């Protein structure tokens, strides 16, 4: 599993650093589209997992829902807490909150399928949707508060 994480996370990360370093101007022009592409692929992967396991969806219990929701809230809280601990600006704390809350969701689906079997992908895929929903809710709340305060 460690080798899979290295191949799926570390190698592409360093490849991306290299591309960004050597092709800085070209990358900066297209950089704004990458978050949308990333979210699209994560949703596609998780939707595929859900579709392939549609007969097992009834196995999702309230306990699984509670656990994945608590895990996500814990991750988001930890992100905000770490940002506060290091006295980051509010925008950075919020970014860190959402990033940490969603960090491993897609990777969890892939690793679960590869190492634990199809049944293990269901909670992991469900976790992705919980992450997307909670991140969207937090972003909407923060956006509304900023609008009410007259701050961006």
What integer is the mean pLDDT of 108-126?
Answer: 80
Per-residue tokens: 136: 């969207």
* pLDDT computed for residue 80 by the predictor: 92
Are residues 99 and 134 in contact, defined by beta-carbon separation less than 8 angstroms? no
CA–CA dist 114, 148 (Å, integer): 46
- Residue 151 is predicted with a pLDDT of 65
Residue 117 has what pLDDT?
A: 80
For residue 87, name the pLDDT band (cuts at 50, 70, 90).
Answer: very high
| 32-55 pLDDT per residue, tens | 888 788 778 877 877 777 787 777
Going along the chain from its start, the domains and CATH numbers come out as 33-149 (1.20.1530.20)
In this predicted model, what pLDDT tens digit does every residue of 92-113 receive, in sequence order?
998 888 887 776 677 777 788 8
Closest CA to 142 of 99, 101, 93: 93
pLDDT class for 77, splitting at 50, 70, 90?
very high
Q: Chain-wide mean pLDDT for the chain? A: 83
Q: Examine the pLDDT at 21 and tell me if it is beyond 70.
A: yes
Q: For 21-56, b where at least 16 C-beta lie within 10 A, e where not — what string?
A: eeeeeeeeeeeeeeeeeeeeebeebbeebbeebeee
Q: Assess whether pLDDT exceeds 90 at residue 86.
A: yes
Has residue 81 got a pLDDT over 90? Answer: yes
- What is the percent of the chain where pLDDT is above 90? 12
Tell me which of 119 and 65 has the higher pLDDT.
65
CA 112 to chain CA mean position, Å: 16
């Amino acid at each position: 599993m460690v080798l899979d994480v290295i191949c799926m996370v570390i190698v592409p990360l360093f490849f991306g650093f290299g591309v960004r370093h050597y092709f800085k101007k070209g990358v900066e022009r297209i950089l704004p589209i990458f978050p949308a592409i990333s979210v699209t692929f994560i949703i596609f992967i998780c939707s595929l997992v859900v579709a392939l396991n549609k007969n097992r969806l009834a196995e999702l219990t309230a306990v699984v829902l509670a656990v994945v929701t608590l895990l996500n809230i814990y991750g988001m809280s930890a992100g905000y807490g770490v940002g506060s601990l290091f006295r980051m600006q509010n925008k950075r704390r919020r970014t860190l909150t959402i990033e940490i809350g969603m960090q491993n969701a897609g990777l969890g689906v892939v690793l679960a399928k590869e190492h634990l079997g199809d049944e293990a992908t269901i909670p992991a895929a469900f976790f992705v949707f919980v992450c997307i929903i909670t991140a969207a809710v937090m972003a909407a709340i923060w956006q509304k508060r900023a609008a009410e305060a007259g701050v961006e």
